[in-house]
Structures are given as C-alpha cells and as structure tokens.
C-alpha cells in the first residue's frame, strides 16, 4: 500500500513538473515580443562570467548578461553586448510614416511659403544688441572665418550621430545592426522635425539679419561689411538648431547605449557635442549672421528634438551615465521537483 502511494506521488510530481515546464516554455516564447507585460526576468550570466552586482552600471559588455531582458529560446544565456532593451520602444511603421511625412512637408515648404522679400521684424530684443557688440568680429575676413567654423561644426554635428555612431560604432564595431537601425530612424525623425520647424518659422517671422543694421547694407547687401544668405530669415538660427539636435542625439544614444563601453568616453562625447553646438552659436553671432535670441531659441528647440523626444518616446527615462540596474525587484520562479517534495525556487535581484 505504501509502495503504491509512493508510486502515485512520483507520477503526480512528474505530471505537475511537465505541466510547469510547458507553461514556462510558453511564457518564454511570449517574452520575445518587444513590449513585455510583466517585469523582465534577470538573465543568468554567460558561461565563464559573473553577473554584475546590483550596485554596478550595466554597460552592454560582451559576456555579461543583461538584467533588464528576459531569457528566451533565441537567447538562452540572456542578452549580452550592444542590444535594444525589451522595455524600450522599437521603431516601426509609425516612425517610418512620420519621417516620410516630415521630410515631404519640409521639401514642400518653399512652394507653400515663399522666402520673404521684406522684413516683418527688424529690431533686436532683450540683450541682443549687447551680445552682438561683444561678439561681432569687426573685420570682414574674420567674420568669414567664423562663418566657416560654424559650417564645419554643423557638418560634424550631423555626420557623427547620423553616420559614425550608428554605422561605424553600433553596426560595424559592436556588430549590432538592429540597434544601428533604431538609431538611424530616430535620428532621421529628429532631424526632419528640426528642419521643417526651422524653415517654417524663418519664413513666417521674416526677421532681418543683424548685418542689415550696418549702414548701407539694406540698400546694397553686396558690400564688404555686409553678410550673405537670405536677408530676412534670421529667426531662428538653423545652424544652432541642427547642431543642438545632433548634440542631443549623441547624448541620448551614448548615455543610454554606452556605445564606447566606457563611462568617461560616453559622457565625454556628450559634453564635447554640447560644447560644439555652443561654439557654433557663438560663431553665428560673431559672423553677424544671427542675434543672440536667434541662437538661444535654436538651441532650445534643437535639444527638444534631439534629446527630449528620443528619450521620452524610445528610451523612456533620463540618464546622465550608461544604464544602471532597475530599481524595482527583478525575479523569476522555477519549479523544484524532488523525490520527496514539490516546490518553487525564486531567483533574481531584490
């Protein structure tokens, strides 16, 4: 009788263990979806490596399993190296449609809003005149040099987040084409929004360039003391807006993704990009192409497109250094089946 009871208990344990195993496999397969409905389970460390301590920052290091992503049949050892976290939003058809719509609208602006042929706004505001007097370079050659410097920084602030970071670092060096694609689409969305908004505001406000205040330049803009470019599209600075967008993207990607896998280098690249856009703004004032208010508004709106929107829409949190472990407990339950007992093991970080 006792032997029959033991056999029945062993059979029930085997049946329950099989059911729990099937349920665990089903839940693991469901965890492959981009958005998880439950807290992600911590992944075990890869063979030969120790899991990072809860107090340390997770930096997408190869061989160190990500504590923010679930174990799946595709990744039985967890995710390691550069990857897109499950709780981040991945780009999709909405992003592709928005990039196409914003780009098409930007290309259509000249047909809908022709360039202004007279000023609607030709006076400085706040401390515009004081900053112009302090920063404007007197010599025509010096102003042209300042303009060239701002153009060079403009190109760098576009190429670095649009080409170097996604293609050379994420795709080639870190071997993560999926992350590279996420970055490219996010960058395209930010830049297209910046360009469209800047072009529309320039044409609607029709603000006169500062150099038009120089005697004789209003009547003859080809003079040596005058500037170049559209005369009535000063507000707000496109150079300031685009470089701030690039700096914002660099800061967002480097602090969230740890592209260089080094806190000092990633944070330093963000600081360098911010310094680059600040110098660009100063050179636009020194070359007499923009007022201080043009540059300030350009910086604010550029950072909104390049840093705030990607951070809020995709990364979903602000961060000054690469990703830390989550504050909320992360755990998973595993069945425990032995000869004389049934139970559950809880594994995780609390």
What is the per-residue DSSP string for 287-350?
A: TTSS-HHHHHHHHHHHHIIIIIHHIIIII-S--SSSPBPPSS-EEEEEEEE-SS-EEEEEEEE-
pLDDT of 332 reads 47
Q: Which residues contact 74 (CB under 8 A, 6 or more apart)?
A: 32
Instruction: Let me know how long the chain is.
Output: 350
* Cα distance between residue 331 and residue 100, in whole Å: 41
pLDDT of 330 reads 45
Q: Which residues contact 198 (CB under 8 A, 6 or more apart)?
A: 236, 238, 241, 242, 298, 301
Cα 102 to chain centroid, rounded = 18
pLDDT of 97 reads 97
Three-state DSSP at 57 gives strand
What is the per-residue DSSP string for 253-266?
A: HHHHH-TTS-HHHH
From first to last of its 350 residues, the chain has per-residue pLDDT tens of: 444 444 444 544 443 344 334 333 333 433 343 433 333 434 444 433 444 443 345 556 666 666 666 666 656 665 667 888 888 899 999 999 999 999 999 999 999 999 999 999 999 999 999 999 999 999 999 999 999 999 999 999 999 999 999 999 999 998 899 999 999 999 999 999 999 999 999 999 999 999 998 888 888 887 788 887 789 999 999 999 999 999 999 999 999 998 998 889 999 999 999 999 999 999 999 999 999 999 999 999 999 999 999 999 999 877 655 444 444 444 444 555 555 555 555 544 44
Phi and psi angles of residue 119, each rounded to the nearest 5 degrees, phi first: -80, 135
| Cis before 120? omega within 30 | no
* Cα distance between residue 347 and residue 350, in whole Å: 9
Alpha helices by DSSP H, listed for 206-237, are none
Using CB atoms within 10 A of its CB, is residue 118 exposed (0-12), middle (13-18) or buried (19+)?
A: exposed
* Cα distance between residue 77 and residue 263, in whole Å: 25
pLDDT of 72 reads 62
Q: Which helix (H) or strand (E) holds 105?
A: helix 93-112
* Cα distance between residue 89 and residue 261, in whole Å: 22
* Cα distance between residue 256 and residue 196, in whole Å: 27
Domains and CATH numbers, the chain: 2-78+328-349 (no CATH), 93-315 (1.20.144)
pLDDT tens string 188-213: 999 999 999 999 999 999 999 999 98
pLDDT of 4 reads 46
Q: Retrieve residue 241's tokens.
A: 């807006």
pLDDT of 145 reads 96
pLDDT of 141 reads 93
């Amino acid at each position: 009788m006792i032997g029959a009871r033991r056999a029945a208990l062993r059979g029930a344990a085997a049946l329950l263990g099989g059911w729990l195993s099937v349920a665990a496999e089903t839940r693991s397969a469901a965890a492959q979806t981009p958005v998880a409905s439950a807290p992600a389970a911590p992944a075990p460390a890869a063979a030969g490596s120790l899991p990072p301590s809860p107090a340390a920052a997770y930096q997408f290091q190869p061989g160190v399993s990500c504590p923010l992503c679930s174990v799946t049949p595709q990744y039985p050892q967890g995710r390691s190296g550069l990857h897109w976290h499950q709780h981040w939003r991945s780009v999709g058809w909405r992003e592709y449609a928005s990039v196409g719509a914003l780009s098409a609208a930007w290309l259509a602006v000249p047909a809908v809003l022709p360039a202004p042929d007279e000023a609607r706004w030709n006076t400085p505001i706040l401390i515009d005149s004081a900053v112009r007097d302090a920063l404007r370079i007197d010599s025509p050659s010096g102003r042209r040099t300042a303009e060239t410097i701002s153009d060079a920084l403009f190109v760098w602030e576009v190429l670095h987040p649009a080409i170097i970071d996604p293609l050379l670092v994420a795709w080639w060096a870190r071997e993560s084409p999926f992350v590279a694609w996420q970055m490219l689409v996010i960058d395209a969305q930010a830049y297209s929004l910046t360009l469209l908004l800047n072009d529309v505001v320039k044409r609607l406000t029709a603000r006169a360039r500062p150099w038009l205040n120089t005697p004789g330049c209003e009547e003859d803009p080809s003079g040596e003391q005058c500037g170049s470019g559209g005369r009535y599209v000063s507000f707000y600075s496109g150079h300031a807006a685009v470089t701030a967008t690039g700096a914002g993207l660099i800061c967002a990607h480097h602090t969230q993704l740890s592209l260089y896998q080094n806190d000092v280098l990633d944070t330093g690249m963000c600081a360098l990009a911010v310094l680059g856009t600040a110098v660009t703004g100063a050179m636009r004032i020194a070359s007499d192409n923009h007022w201080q208010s043009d540059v300030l508004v350009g910086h604010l709106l550029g950072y909104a497109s390049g840093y705030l929107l990607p951070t809020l829409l995709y990364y979903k949190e602000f961060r000054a250094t690469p990703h830390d472990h989550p504050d909320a407990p992360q755990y998973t339950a595993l069945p425990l089946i032995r000869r004389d007992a049934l139970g559950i093991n809880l594994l995780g970080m609390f």
